[in-house]
Amino acid sequence: MRAALLTVPERRWECPNCPAIDVTREAQPHSRFHNCAGLAGLSAPMVPAGTRAKVEAVEREDYIGSEDVQYDGDGRPVMAVVTTRDDGNDVTVYAPTAHGRLG
Ligand SMILES: [Zn+2]
């Protein structure tokens, strides 16, 4: 069953690392990603406008081997982007794609 909303609230998004802003109208909880100029082009989450937050890339430090990992525009392997807010944090993990066997 779907709830019918007469008006879908407008959500404004911004990025603490670059000038990107956006507006979405979506009834379901959602997040907004963009290719962030402030994080060397990584696909990073935006935060609701007015939120005090920082968004940081977490560089991958362990051995990469034959996995396909996410690199930023500077060629650094990035394992996650962490959004830290006053009330908690979110982690966006770039899961590496392993080659070879399954199971
Ligand atoms: Zn950005």
Contact present, 81 and 58 (Cβ < 8 Å): yes
Per-chain mean pLDDT for the chain = 88
Q: What pTM was estimated for this model as a whole? A: 0.77
Quote the ligand 1 centre to 62 CA distance (angstroms): 26
Q: Is residue 103 pLDDT above 70, yes or no?
A: no
CB atoms within 10 A of CB 36: 23
From ligand 1's centre to the CA of 17, what distance in Å?
5
pLDDT tens sequence across 39-55: 999 999 999 999 999 99
